[in-house]
Amino acid sequence: MKYKVLLIITFLLAFYSTIWSQNYVIRKKIQSLTDQVSTLRLKTDIDKLVGFYNRNTFSDTVSENKGIGAARRWLYSEFVKINNASGGRMKVYYDNFYKKLSERFKNVANEDSIKLVNVIAVIPGTSSERVLIINGHYDSRTYSGTDTESFAPGANDDGSGTIALLELARILSRERFKNTIMLAALIAEEQGLWGAAHLAEQAKNTKMKVEGVIANDMIGNITGGDGKSDNTILRCFSPDPIDSPSRNFALYVNKISDEYFPLLKLKMIFRLDRFGRGGDHLPFIRQGFAGIRLTEPYENYKIQHSSDDTPDNISFEYFTRTTQLNLTVASYWANSPETPEIVSITRDPDYKTILKFTCPEPQINLQGFQVYIRETDSEYWTESIFFPTPKATIENTKGKVYNIALQNRDRDYYIFGLASVNKEGYESIASTYNADR
């Protein structure tokens, strides 16, 4: 008996020592990337984008130094420079499409439809078709959404989300990741999320394996119009229900932030977006993808959509942190394994709860599975239990089928989440199972 106890203790010590060592390696790797974010470069790029004067979707497309056309050509050229410096690993392209216009917008464009352009940079994965999309919108506006002449700097809204993409590209394009990262500078957010809607529809129609979408919109300001200020939090919006893909993705992003980037705390807000507002995560959610919005702690409505949205009103220390948080999440997810799928939750004769699930990730890559548990009236996971990879029962088209037994966890009382953990210690997004649906 003593010998058996000693073996168990020895196993547990070795196991937790391995986990600690893996977390340390991951943390050091992420820090080596976040340390590369340049505050000076962020400021220089914001100044350049603001210098195009007015980036309204209907503004000048011919000029070399003013309007939406000049802005998108500059963004494209910057992505190309970054790609060349990284050895040509990225795929950089214009995502062109046409939008049929309502009467209101026809009067501005003097056309029945308009050609619109997203600017895309893709960092391909080495062994997976799974995609994380990080976006920001590069168009700006004044109080009027059709004013193409007045100064519309859009430094924070959404120069910040757009310029963060360039910095992510500079750093991440030099790395080799298992999974694919798409960086999307989107057009026409201010007119109705047109660029995001096009890309989301395209992703749906081409069966793109999008696991998550992060919309960065206004991630540089820390002071609201009422004087409230906070440089320690970043709001994260995700819609109900509590076990939706978007909510699971939000909790995953929050977990990574808590563990690997303590300089900034995500303030979780369990709503689609702010009251009466919308962002470029919404079209992706409508197409069935998981999406969240990241945005500043407090908004200053006097600055938004005005000539006062200038670099002077950005906290570049805070903007550096929000960019680093994006980098942390992207680099962690890009090394993660496939998400398992719970196919049933049953109860055996001994009243154990049995999770039956499949996992497309090759078994040779797996260290095990993390089971997350919370009571049905809780928004957050309150418990997690790690299980080394069990022996597969059968195999189907979705991968090997596994069973995990949980004692004293009556399935009626709990919501269960399940994530896979690979040999390097990276964890997948957790999936949930809802019998009601």
Question: What CATH number is attached to the domain comprising 392?
Answer: 2.60.40.10
Number of structural domains, the chain?
Answer: 2
Between the alpha carbon of residue 300 and those of residues 55, 144, 160, 238, 265, the distances in Å are 20, 17, 15, 22, 21
103 vs 187: CA distance, rounded Å = 20
Q: Treating both helix axes as pointing N-terminal to C-terminal, what angle do 2-34 and 245-260 enclose, rounded to 10 degrees?
A: 90
Q: What are 352's two structure tokens?
A: 């154990």
Asked whether residue 320 falls in the same domain as residue 214, the answer is yes
The model carries a pTM of 0.95
Contact (Cβ atoms closer than 8 angstroms) between residue 322 and residue 34:
no
157 vs 216: CA distance, rounded Å = 10
Measured from the Cβ of residue 188, the count of other Cβ atoms closer than 10 Å reads 26
User: Buried b / exposed e across 281-305, counting CB within 10 Å, b at 16+?
Assistant: bbbbbebebbbbbbbbbbbbeebbb
pLDDT at position 12 is 47
Asked whether residue 227 falls in the same domain as residue 360, the answer is no
Asked whether residue 259 falls in the same domain as residue 351, the answer is no
Sheet of strand 394-396: strand arrangement: 341-347, 353-359, 399-406, 394-396
Q: Treating both helix axes as pointing N-terminal to C-terminal, what angle do 68-85 and 39-50 enclose, rounded to 10 degrees?
A: 150
Q: Is residue 25 part of a domain?
A: no
Domain that holds residue 269: 36-333
Measured from the Cβ of residue 206, the count of other Cβ atoms closer than 10 Å reads 8
In angstroms, what is the C-alpha Rg of the chain? 23
Asked whether residue 43 falls in the same domain as residue 181, the answer is yes
Q: What angle do CA 129, 284, 78 make, to 5 degrees?
A: 65
Q: Which among 298, 333, 368 is the end of a domain? A: 333
Asked whether residue 326 falls in the same domain as residue 382, the answer is no
Q: Which among 284, 315, 333 is the end of a domain? A: 333
Q: Is residue 1 part of a domain?
A: no
Measured from the Cβ of residue 171, the count of other Cβ atoms closer than 10 Å reads 23
Q: Is residue 155 part of a domain?
A: yes
The span from the first CA to the last CA of the chain, in angstroms, equals 47
Contact (Cβ atoms closer than 8 angstroms) between residue 135 and residue 187:
no
pLDDT at position 21 is 87
191 vs 184: CA distance, rounded Å = 17
Q: Which among 333, 365, 388 is the end of a domain? A: 333
Q: What are 239's two structure tokens?
A: 């819609």
pLDDT at position 356 is 96
Asked whether residue 157 falls in the same domain as residue 55, the answer is yes
pLDDT tens, residue order, the chain (437 aa): 666 555 546 544 455 567 778 999 999 999 999 999 999 999 999 999 999 999 999 999 999 999 999 999 999 999 999 999 999 999 999 999 999 999 889 888 888 999 999 999 999 999 889 999 999 999 999 999 899 999 999 999 999 999 999 999 999 999 999 999 999 999 999 999 999 999 999 999 999 999 999 999 999 999 999 999 999 999 999 999 999 999 999 999 999 999 999 999 999 999 999 998 999 999 999 999 999 999 999 999 999 999 999 999 999 999 999 999 999 999 999 999 999 999 999 999 999 999 999 999 999 999 999 999 999 999 999 999 999 999 988 877 777 899 999 999 999 999 999 999 999 999 999 999 977 65
CA dihedral 401, 407, 411, 413 (to 10 degrees): -150
Q: What are 24's two structure tokens?
A: 């340390």
149 vs 146: CA distance, rounded Å = 9
Asked whether residue 283 falls in the same domain as residue 150, the answer is yes
Asked whether residue 204 falls in the same domain as residue 242, the answer is yes
175 vs 243: CA distance, rounded Å = 33
Q: Is residue 5 part of a domain?
A: no
267 vs 322: CA distance, rounded Å = 13
Asked whether residue 327 falls in the same domain as residue 416, the answer is no
pLDDT at position 2 is 62
Sheet of strand 130-137: strand arrangement: 91-100, 113-123, 180-186, 130-137, 209-216, 291-295, 233-237, 265-269
370 vs 428: CA distance, rounded Å = 9
